[in-house]
Structure 1
Amino acid sequence: MNRALSGWANGSTVRPGWANEEEDMKRATLSAMTLAVLAPLPVAANDTQANVTMGGLIFEPNDQISMDSEDLFLSLDRVRVRYTYTNHGDKPVTLLVAFPLPDVPLEGADPEWVEAAYPDLDLIDMKTLVNGKPAGLMRIDIAKVNGQDVDKRLKELGWPVVHWKDPDFAARLNALSADDKSALVAEGLLTTEFVTEGDVRPAWTVSTSFVRTQTFPPGVPITVEHSYSPMQGGTVGSALGRDFRENGRLDPESEYVTKYCVDDAFLRGFDRKRYLPSGKENELFFPIESWIGYALTPGANWKGPIKRFRLTVDKGDPDRLVSLCMDGIRKVSPTRFEVIKTDFEPARDIDLLFVTFTPMEGGQ
């Protein structure tokens, strides 16, 4: 059975300056309702074999190299993962190994919100060790429209793949003639959705992966370690409050339930901090949601299941709420939760919801 992990928050998140204003609180709640439908920006993904083709970076299964163990640590501040691999063949195997990040922007999301959260990949601070020694990584950014690589077309136009890094790019697009805009919208490169009438914006997604060339000697286990700062999604406010529940329950089709497995215990923890015994909202604290995720399923691309898998989640503060979908989790400290599995074949990725209650102006 999936479990949610509960606790309270003590306001370790930075307090918004307007959080004590009634009208702005209403706006924050509406923002939370909008942002709650967006997926978080995942922290990254399991290593997986890749191949670079004309269609971009292709992730491939491997039937010769096994992932013997994976030790994964997830927190809001840092992510660490340690793998052990074995080549079961009789010759060395050299592969392109990719560590993929999520596509940006999030498909179907309103760019009014997503563009404010475009990741700065330079801040990830990615470090990789192979058998304890630093390994060089190369970043590959691939532009896609409907899943098709459009890098060549962008080069023809002189447009940047990572367009949000160019502060003048929006003005360049909107300086195009009406005919050019129409043609490029028809081509799928631009869209008129969610912009002022007559304006356009990029319609392509960006797929980013950190890649390295890795040689696996026969019969000799090798250890690979990654560490980095996670990309976070989040919002001021929350749609977890009682006003958003029917008969005390959340909509079972909401992402709170389907993506994060928020359960009754989590809601009780939320209510204890959000509401007074009288039922009125506690005006001393305000909920802040943070979301991270981890693409676990690429770990299924290696030979056989992951022989030993260990997940540790650290919520950082004993009073913070955290919820995720994972069987067999147990609490091992005031802030940490752990699950250990053998012969593990991941069928879904990991998404984590953190709720921190921050003191409002005048709060204690």
Structure 2
Amino acid sequence: MKVACVGGGPASLYFSILMKRTDPSHDITVYERNPAGSTYGWGVTYWDELLDNLRGADPESAQAIDESSVRWDSWAAHLDDRAVVTVENGEEGFGLGRHRLLSILTERALSLGVRVEFEREIAAEEEVAGADLVIAGDGVNSGLRERHAEHFGTEVAVGRNMYIWLGTTRVFEAFTFAFVETECGWIWCYGYPFSEGQSTCVVECSPATWSGLGFGEANEADCLGLLEKLFAGMLDGHPLVGRAQADGGAHWLNFRTVTNRTWFRGNLVLLGDAAHTTHYSIGAGTALALEDAAFLVGALHGGMELEPALAGFERGRQVAIRGSQRAARYSARWYESLPRYIGLPPEQLIAVLGQRHSRLLPHVPPRLFYRLDRLSGWWGSLRGGDH
């Protein structure tokens, strides 16, 4: 099979790796519009389950990812001037620099015979007309998807809150939250390590707080300076690092949740963020993209013709990601409703934060939900953990 993968992100690269491992005779080219070594973002997160899956699919790249990752097993939360709460998470988390992840996957793909062409933009599938299969792995703003948005049934829901994705030289020992009250409302941040010298920091606030603090008019330097003051306790003297923009402004965004009714059109198939996005607060985007890639490879080698194989991929993955999509919606809603929860005692706030994916939480008073959750845990422990 001749395959053209448009976009050099994790989904396309991992798909090309697994396709070549399954059948080295596949002719696969990955087209990336940016130069080699350039990427956006700081670190990505994943959990034990994904690493286990990666080991089963391609042990070589899994080992490199494992060795390059930073681990944590607890949360730390700075609650304005009230308290700093640390809790054991009960699950090991991993952080990995996006640049390092792409480097690992690119090197592995090249070693298997995949061609990777940088600074090559594919604007239409007709530009790779000789391919048997075209992978649209070109991200949330997928140009290939947008050309056929009506066919795919693309819908985009824009989140209310503003957020900015930053880095810092403060290396957190735990997955760290900070909530700060300002005269314009609450602003919060969470950070996690992704290398020996850097961590990711994601800052979020309501539109009113964002506007009231002047972020809409501030240049990047002033924006970072104010954020460093607001989160001084969390940063412990370390600076925040922004991503420079052409206009010199800070890169604030509203999160865009993308869904598609169908994921393929002829021999064109959507993968990763081109097919679906989940709110950054659950840290699942990269894992879902890699799982998409593995599932599609399995479907293509299941003995079916191309169209039924793509239909099976679409059905299977749409079902598989529903739980993550639901968790992401409730997580985003929790942050958009922060004033409802922020007055809780510190231990209760952190406990409810950990349960923000619950469908019940928005409909029950937070203090009552906390008591019910504790009672459920106590009752489950008496029954041997079945709760």
Do they fold alike, i.e. is TM over 0.5? no
Ranked by relative contact order (alpha carbons within 8 Å, sequence separation 6 or more), the top structure is 1
Structure (1/2) with the larger helix percentage: 2
TM-score range, shorter chain: under 0.3
- Per the normalisation by structure 1, the TM-score is 0.27
Structure (1/2) with the larger strand percentage: 1
- Per the normalisation by structure 2, the TM-score is 0.25
